[in-house]
Amino acid sequence: MSQNGNNNKEKLRRKEKMAMQFLKREERMNEMLHSLEPLLEQYQLDEIGIYEEEGVNDLYYMGYTVKKGEHVYMIHQPYVKNESKELALQETQWTIQSEQNESKGYSSLEDVFNQIKG
């Protein structure tokens, strides 16, 4: 296997390990709060806030509620909640929800904001 292939596998393993790191909800929330102003400015949003939703069983969704123009979007990732009520990222893909539809599979916030800027 090529060196590049090995590097990609290692990056994937690190990403998976980070994804299953359990942190308190407040820690996750603080990380997101620090990103609000930069995201607002970078993507020229009208409003941005934190999005949270309890899922079925041990699922929990966190992300952002964004207003751009006349549209409101909920942008989130799924988390798993453990017995201590700590959260770990279940999947790195982002989902965009709006009144009209839901689309999944965005690998970064940049991809998400490129999709909704239109």
DSSP category for residue 23: B
DSSP category for residue 12: H
Which pTM does this prediction carry? 0.79
Segment 7-28 shows an average pLDDT of: 67
Helix axes 25-42, 109-116, angle to 10 degrees: 50
Please report the pLDDT score of residue 41 as a whole number: 94
Please report the pLDDT score of residue 6 as a whole number: 54
pLDDT, tens digit (0-9, with 9 covering 90-100), for 40-91: 999 999 999 999 999 998 999 999 999 999 999 999 999 999 989 899 999 9
Residue 1 has pLDDT above 50, yes or no: no
Query: Tokens in use for 115?
Result: 């999709």
Query: Tokens in use for 8?
Result: 């990609």
